Structure formats: structure tokens, C-alpha cells
Amino acid sequence: MSKSLTHIRPGAVVEFMHGDQPQLAWVLEEQSGKLRIWTINKREMKLPAARVLPWYGPGHDPGCSRQEIQDRLNAHQERRGEIQAGLNVMELWDLAQGELDKAKLEWFADLLWEDAGPDQLAALGRAMLSAKTHFKFRPPYFEIYPEETVELRLKTQAEEKEREAVVRAGSDLFKALWEARMHGCDAKTPRMDDDVTERLKQLLLDQIAKQADDKSEKIWTAVRKGLPDIPHLALLLAQKWGVLPPHHNYLLDEAGYEWGNDWSKRHQKALSEQFGCFESLRTEPEDTPFVSIDGSTTRDIDDAFHVSRTEDGYRLQLALARPMLCWDFGSELDKDVFERASSLYLPEGSTHMMPEELGTGLFSLFEGQDRPAMIADFDLDPDGAIRSATPRLGWVRIQKNDTYENAERVLSENGDEHLALAHELASLLIKGRIANGACIIRKPEPIVTVEGEGHDAAVCVTMKEACPEAELIVSEFMILANCGLALWGQENNVPLLHRTQDIALPAEAAGIFTDPTEILPRVRLLLPAQTELQPKRHAALGVPAYTSITSPLRRYLDFVNMAQVCSMLEKGEPRLDTDRLESLLTHLSPRMSAVSQVQRFRPRYWKLHYLSRERKKLREAIVVDENGPLPNLAMPELQINVRVPRKLLGDKLYPGQRFQINFGRIDPLTNEIKVAEALED
């Protein structure tokens, strides 16, 4: 094959690239580097000689008829196909790679045959062109890829083939699932390989969790063509397919939060070490008769109190759980607890930040059990103002775990001097906060519970039994602790993470508000609190500084702050300096935000599901904002506000006006709720 392409004569058999494949043709005429050819597909066309592949021949009688040309082209095509089928270009690559970077086709042919003919050369050229993972054709040479490049290209080729299979099967499957969902029937899903099935399942799960990488996103874009562009499409498809159950909590997936306690099983060694360390450090508990007040179902008890009267005021001792007694910061267990960021208390159940063996077991302040604690000792003046705050480390034995309901009953009967004194102090504390501008919102608290799973899930809504006097004790003591320890940290150069809301509020914002018409205007004055290292005023609480430290079993923010205080008391210096604490906050803040979204929106999902079961039932609603085309109405029964078109309410509206409303469309998944009818009550 030494002839120049410019000397191609009529009657020669040539090949050229067409549609990424070599195509066979017969030269009818050649003139000044331009050919008129007859292709094997019975098509006459013009072709620049430069497009002819560097293997051609044999030459035939240029006077052959079209039928004779076609017969000979067919014969060459068949012969070349037979030869190509018998070639193993991978073995040829093995022989060539490492020897040289590129070579002409004849060099490779010499490795296979002594004197290769035109059909053999063409067959080999075709085979090497098809081996794109091993050779690259740069006329007239074939470049030989090195082994590393071949491995990478083979991997890419396999991935592309797999991607095509997934896209093809996914498109058919998802269309079938969507059609079945729209018609309320079972889907006729196509048959698929197990690998493809698993890839499609993972594709949906990645979309639901918003964790898809670029490759997954490209596949998702391809398979969802023809389907509606709606929120939560992947979740709806996964539920119709049976990959996920109805009412699946996709918010947990988005937050990357593992429900339940199974996650802790991978830390059994660390948990065993915690128990061993606990026993080795156990000391005799203080004899202070601490009491806790919590909900009747609470198992993660992280605070207890004891109040006594002094000659000129009060002494309040607060025992706070100390789960970092033997904690290994930076360990795998610590990293998992950090990622969880907070316990979650949802209508379908609770899941805890810490392993249950620790958070609702070893370090929970159960009555009659010896527990490590950080005791915050407050000396308060007759008005409840802080004269001094002195934290110390020790062990405690809680005298009693009381409930809100029982404490409320005892207070109403004046049956316990200690509780009465605690309430007396709490009343002074809230009075002082209001004098400092505190804006206190009190709403009815609906308790939403879910029994059963999937299609059998039943939602129940009841109003929490009001225990205002008992709740006042706990809330005021916790605010005092968080404020007092923030001030102590400031005085002792202990960096802490503070909750700040350094804003100016008008005088009318101060007080206790229970009426929905009074609550909304006050809430609009309040900006969200920030987490910062610098202690600043918290306007809504009416305190000069506020850290978050009283719930170290439930919130990692409190856990970090507790560790700072305990380290200072034990070693004379905080665990983290300001720079390291600030660095930690940059990673902790997004985790807290992600987990808080679950706590915020999941109860609302179940409330909307509850309403959707009886959309036509009339429910009480109160106008809290009459302005604009969509006045705002509050539903105290569920603590939900809804926007209602003014045309349904009439023109004469005023705050406090009561209506009976029912609903049209309610979609818990998209947080959509539309009022269909409003009757003035």
C-alpha cells in the first residue's frame, strides 16, 4: 500500500468514513483530486480524494456495469467482514503498546500476515478503528494508547454503557410509574437487570436526599424527560414503585439524619469504654435534694434544681447533665453526634442526638441514680437578680423526677414548700425579664401523634394539658442558667457560643401575649436569633447575654458549651480557644440549620395531612391581619396560620373577627393549603 491517494484510478475499491463507520465504494471517475464514486448502498456521490482511508484496492476493470460493480462490492464487503470477525486487535495492542507510540496500518498488518492483501488491510483497519479505547486514528497513523489510558477509557466506556442502560430502562419505568399514579392503578413495570434496578433506586434516593453528583444529575435529567416538572417528583416515583413508604420523611434524607438508634451500633467499643470510664470516676454524690420537672414521657433528663431562701434573697442550684465526662472529641462517635446536632421530637416518635445508652441512660438525671453533673450555684437578691453565678463539678443523686402535670397539681394545692418557693422565685425572674423588655409569647400547644405506618398512619391531635405554673419554674430557671453562665464565661474569659438578638424593641413589645391578634404584630418585630461568639443582648428574652448550655443531652451546641465550662473548672482553661470555637461554629451552624428544618416542617406535614382527611369540616379561625388581598387567619386548634382571599371574607374585616373555614386543596408534601369557604362566626 505505497500508492499515493492522488493516483487512485477508476475501478479502484476504496473506503471512507461516513457516520463514524467505514463505508465501501467504487471509484467511477477521478479528476484533480476529486472522485465520483458508487457506494455499496447504491448511491452515487462526489468525494474529495483526501477523505479516502489510507487503504484501498484492489483495482478492477473500470468498464464494469453497475450490477457487476455492486456484486464485487458485496463480495469485498462479505470477505472483509469475515476477516474482521477473526481478528483480535487486543492481542495486537498487547504486542504494540510499549514498543512505539504510533505506526501505519501496514506495520500492524506485518505482525499478522506475510503479504497482506487489500481485503486483509481493510478488515484490520476497520477493526482498529472500532477499538477506540486502544487506538486513535490520525491518518495515516494509528496512535497506540498506553495501558493507563486504555484502563481509563475502558472504565469510561463501561460507565457510558451502563448509563445508557439505566437511562433507557429508567425512562420506561418512570413513565409507567407516573401514568399509574395519575390513574390510581398498579404500574406495569418493565423487566430490568438487578444492577439497573439498584441504580435506579439509588438515583431516586439521591434526588430525594439532594445528594446527587454530576453523573447522577445527568442521568436524572435524561430519565425524567416527558414527566412533569414538579417538586418531589423523585419521592412520588419512589413511593409508587414501593421503594419508599407513604409519608416517608424526606426531610431526614435531606438532612442526612439517621432515624432511631441503630446508628450507634457501629460505636459499641466506644460505648463500652464510656461505661468503664463512668465507673472509674464515680464519686460520692452531693446531698442536695435536687428535683427535676419534665414531660411524662421524657427520658433524656438533663436538668434539675434546688431552691432555698437566704437571709437576703435566694440560692438556686441547678444540676445539669455532664455527658462529656469521658468524651473523646474528634472520635468517630463524636463526629456522628456532631452530625446529628440535635434530638428530634416528631409526631411519629423521637430520635436522639446521643446513643440512647448514654443520652437516655447513663447520663440522664434519673432519680435515685448517681450522675456526674455541672452544678450552677446562683446567689440572687430579693428581686431575683443575679449577685453571683458559681459553677462547679460534682456528682448528684436526684431526689425526684416530677412531671409537669403532677407539679401543677401540687402547686395548686400548696402541697410542697420547695415547689412553692421555686414558683415564687420564677415569678420574680419573669417579672424582671419583662421589666427589661422581654416579649413572651404563649400559645396553646397541640400535641400531634401518629399511630401506624404507611397507608395505615392515623393522625391524632389533642391539646396539651396546660401546666403554666410548673412550666414557669422550668423555663425561668433555664433562662437564668443560660444567662448567668454566659455572664460567668464573659467574666472568666471562657469563649462560649451565644444566642444573640441585639435589636431594639418598642415598649409595647414587652409583656406576656396569648391572644393571636396580639402575637402576630409582636412576632413581626423579632428578628431571628443568631449564634455568635460575642455575648450580646437577647431582646425577646430580656437578658443581657444568653448562651445555650442546659440541654447537653439534646443539642450539640449545649454539649460544646458545657465542655468549655467543665474544662475551665477541671483544667483551668477552656477546651477550645476563640479561633477554634469559631471554626467549629462554621461547620456546626449548617448542621443545626438542616436538622432544625426537620423539627420545624415535619409536624406541619402531619397537621396538613390531618386537615386533608376532613377538608370539608368547618374549623374556627381568627383574623390576625386584615390587610392586603390575602388576610391572615390563625387556627389556634392546630397553631397554623392560613391566607384567605378577601373575596371569601368580605370587605369589613377587623383583628379578632372569627370565621368558620374549610378547605379545598391540601397537599402536605408541598405545604399547600387553600381555603375553599369562610363563614363569619
pLDDT in tens, 531-569: 999 999 999 999 999 999 999 999 999 999 999 999 999
Average pLDDT, the chain: 95
Range of the domain at 226: 150-244
Question: b or e along 473-490 (b: 16 or more beta carbons within 10 Å of the residue's beta carbon)?
Answer: bbebbbbbbbbbbbbbbb
The pLDDT confidence band at residue 158, using thresholds 50, 70 and 90, is confident
Residue 651 has pLDDT above 90, yes or no: no
Looking at the structure, tell me whether residues 478 and 376 fall in a common domain. yes
pLDDT in tens, 360-393: 999 999 999 999 999 999 999 999 999 999 999 9
Side-chain half-sphere of 239: how many Cα atoms within 13 Å?
A: 17
Per-residue 3-state assignment (H helix, E strand, C coil) for 174-189 = HHHHHHHHHHCCCCCC
The whole-number average pLDDT for the span 448-473 is 94
Contacts of residue 42, defined as CB under 8 A and 6 or more positions apart, other chains included, come to 70
Q: Positive or negative, the Cα torsion across 200, 201, 207, 212?
A: negative
Q: What is the pLDDT of residue 5?
A: 47
Distance of CA 268 to the CA centre of its chain: 26
Looking at the structure, tell me whether residues 450 and 562 fall in a common domain. yes
Residue 464 DSSP code: P
Q: What is the pLDDT of residue 619?
A: 96
Residue 256 has pLDDT above 70, yes or no: yes
Q: What is the dihedral of CA 39, 45, 46, 48, to 10 degrees?
A: -40
Residue 352 DSSP code: -
H helix runs in 342-398, sequence order:
356-357
Q: What is the pLDDT of residue 258?
A: 97
Q: Is residue 274 part of a domain?
A: yes
Within 10 Å of residue 243's Cβ, how many Cβ atoms?
18
Lowest-pLDDT range, 146-150, 392-396, 402-406, 486-490? 146-150
Looking at the structure, tell me whether residues 520 and 653 fall in a common domain. no
Q: Is residue 236 part of a domain?
A: yes
Looking at the structure, tell me whether residues 450 and 320 fall in a common domain. yes
Looking at the structure, tell me whether residues 554 and 455 fall in a common domain. yes
Q: What is the pLDDT of residue 387?
A: 97
Of 345 and 32, more confident: 345
Q: Is residue 251 part of a domain?
A: no
The whole-angstrom separation of Cα 537 and Cα 530 is 11
Q: How many domains does the chain have?
A: 4
The whole-number average pLDDT for the span 483-511 is 97
Q: What is the pLDDT of residue 654?
A: 95
Phi, psi of 196 (to 5 degrees): -65, -40
Q: Is residue 255 part of a domain?
A: no
The pLDDT confidence band at residue 41, using thresholds 50, 70 and 90, is very high
The whole-number average pLDDT for the span 139-168 is 89
Which of 661, 670, 677 minimizes the C-alpha distance to 622? 661
Q: What is the pLDDT of residue 2?
A: 39
Looking at the structure, tell me whether residues 591 and 622 fall in a common domain. no
User: Pick from 145, 171, 196: which residue ends a domain?
Assistant: 145
Question: Cell digits for 342?
Answer: 440535635
Q: What is the pLDDT of residue 56?
A: 86
Q: Is residue 100 part of a domain?
A: yes
User: Using only C-alpha atoms, what is the Rg of the chain?
Assistant: 38
User: Pick from 145, 174, 198: which residue ends a domain?
Assistant: 145
The pLDDT confidence band at residue 19, using thresholds 50, 70 and 90, is confident
Calculate what percentage of the chain has a pLDDT beyond 70.
99
- pTM of the predicted structure, to 2 decimals: 0.83
The pLDDT confidence band at residue 1, using thresholds 50, 70 and 90, is very low
Q: What is the dihedral of CA 156, 161, 163, 169, to 10 degrees?
A: -170
Q: What is the pLDDT of residue 155?
A: 87
The pLDDT confidence band at residue 494, using thresholds 50, 70 and 90, is very high
Contacts of residue 447, defined as CB under 8 A and 6 or more positions apart, other chains included, come to 461, 462, 463, 464
Phi, psi of 291 (to 5 degrees): -130, 140
Looking at the structure, tell me whether residues 137 and 191 fall in a common domain. no
Calculate what percentage of the chain has a pLDDT beyond 90.
91
Looking at the structure, tell me whether residues 97 and 117 fall in a common domain. yes
The pLDDT confidence band at residue 3, using thresholds 50, 70 and 90, is very low
User: Pick from 187, 212, 244: which residue ends a domain?
Assistant: 244
Looking at the structure, tell me whether residues 585 and 516 fall in a common domain. yes
Q: Is residue 203 part of a domain?
A: yes
Q: Is residue 90 part of a domain?
A: yes
Q: What would the DSSP string read from start to end of 443-455?
A: ---EEEEEES-GG
Residue 458 has pLDDT above 50, yes or no: yes
Q: Is residue 254 part of a domain?
A: no
Looking at the structure, tell me whether residues 89 and 219 fall in a common domain. no
Looking at the structure, tell me whether residues 177 and 294 fall in a common domain. no
The whole-angstrom separation of Cα 77 and Cα 71 is 10
The whole-number average pLDDT for the span 472-499 is 98
Looking at the structure, tell me whether residues 505 and 580 fall in a common domain. yes
The whole-number average pLDDT for the span 249-269 is 97
Check: CB of residue 511 under 8 Å from CB of residue 413: no
Question: CATH code at 647?
Answer: 2.40.50.140
Which of 323, 327, 328, 305 minimizes the C-alpha distance to 371? 323
